[in-house]
A = this chain, B = another copy of it.
Amino acid sequence: MRKGEETRTRLLDVAEAAVLAKGFGATSIDELIAETGITKSGFFYHFRDKNELAKALLERYIENDERIYDEIFSRAHELSDDPLQAFLLGLKLLSELLADLPNGHPGCLVATMCTQERAFDREIQEINRQAALMWRRRFGGMFRDIMRHYRPREALDADQLADMVSTVIEGGIVISKALKEPKSLPDQLLVFRTFVRMLFQPIAQA
């Protein structure tokens, strides 16, 4: 039981790296089992087919992703009681965390699986959708909280602002990879942070 989970985890680790590097279709089971050190039969013991591997990969990725956001923004809310300051601090922490990744962000599984949507079944597409909705709920809640204390300079929807966070992160990953400039992603997050700060800044009175 214990050993099975360990092998499964190693297999998922290898698979995640390969899929993020080459895409799902270009990742072969043979190469995964070679690097993990098991046989093909061993692979099919853990996963019925490649699609189930994709599902397990995605679920694990999202879980981990949520955990990271939980940690960062709960730390930020510990450091400041003000919802705006806490959010801005959270963005800063996230940016720093991303900047500290030695080879840049490895890539987002949610993105790779929805840019190749027809390669997967509807269940995976639904998991993907739920992930994006979770991000919306998380950040949307923060923006609504901020709006109870600060009057935005322009009327913007909290959910659209929440989607903007996801947008900047996903887009930043893409542009970062295209440019081969890992710093681009954390920089974009800071630009967005400046926009948010500006949005809720009280209008100066002479």
Contact = CB atoms under 8 A, between A and B. Distances in A.
Contact of A174 (B21, B27, B115, B205): B115
A108 B171 CA distance: 11
A178 B25 contact: no
Interface of A: 20-27, 107-108, 110-112, 114-119, 125, 128-129, 131-133, 136, 153-154, 156, 160-161, 163-164, 166-172, 174-175, 177-180, 184, 187-188, 191-192, 194-195, 197-199, 203-206
Q: Main secondary structure on chain A at its contact with chain B? A: helix
Given A195-B195, A205-B206, A178 B26 contact: no
Contacts of A164: 168, 188, 191-192
Report copies per complex. Answer: 2
A177 B23 contact: no
Given A168-B171, A171-B172, A195-B195, 14 more contacts: A21-B116, A21-B117, A22-B25, A26-B118, A110-B178, A111-B111, A115-B177, A129-B178, A129-B180, A132-B175, A132-B179, A133-B179, A167-B172, A205-B206
Contacts of A125: 180
Contact of A163 (B129, B161, B188): B188
